[in-house]
Amino acid sequence: NVIGLVTGGKTASKVFDFGKTVVVKPKGKHQATVVWLHGLGDNGSSWSQLLETIPLPNIKWVCPTAPTRPVTLFGGFPSTAWFDVEELSEDAPYDLEGLDAAATHVANLLSTEPADIKVGIGGFSMGAATALYSGACFSVGKYANGNPFTANLSAVVGLSGWLPCAKRWGKELEGVDGAADRAAALPILLCHGKADDVVSHKYGEKSSHALSSLGFKDVTFKSYSGLGHYTIPQEMDEVCAWLSSKLGLDTSSSSLK
């Protein structure tokens, strides 16, 4: 569970100790595995309880828990966080080392899935930011530290989140063979409440535009009026329908057998 970051042959001094991972097994035939990332201060088991109840019998959900670390936003007070943040917005300075460690942890969780199983990443708030960062790394084929990104993503979902370091991806995508094709083919769903007072709706909207302008051609952005920084059944229904369609899941009753 511990990842040390290797940079130029030397291991960086920071080692991140990830918390407990909770797995929700598929109730039907296993066709896809989705790693779902919680928000700041939360843990994997709280999302696993919700994911246990949604009608996608062919998905295995993997719900890791972020490392506990001092968070600048909380004046250095320790909290579970995928990366350090000063503010929950796309304009904040980025902790690329923390983002790389989180995205590497996610790819490692997916690395043991069989070749015929489609894999995706989703998340809420800071977890959504990490999922979108992972999607960008997948398209470029590497993390910010230069290590290769190994998971073959088929879908990315971000609820109440944003795209970290939106400005750096353009240059990254341009210089890599196959990056534009991977970006164009990766389906991304973003959902955001218009009454979100933690991660402003405008950050979600701007991230959606940024992804489209970077060449991600299959980006869906859904807004919910009156929705704050939490999720509602209507939004999860949307996620279910979208994942079924994009991952080509068997939604017939026989899928439970």
Residues involved in catalysis: 125, 196, 229
CB pairs under 8 A, 24+ apart, for 10-19?
12/97, 14/97, 14/101, 16/67, 16/69, 16/98, 16/101, 16/102, 16/105, 17/67, 17/68, 18/64, 18/65, 18/66, 18/67, 18/105, 19/43, 19/44, 19/64, 19/65, 19/66, 19/67, 19/68, 19/80
- 3 state DSSP class of 27: coil
| Tokens standing for residue 90 | 């796309």
Question: Strand pairing partners for 219?
Answer: 188
Contact 84, 63 (CB under 8 A): no
* Percent of the chain that is helix, strand, coil (3-state, to 5): 35, 25, 40
Token match 């991977």: residue? 182
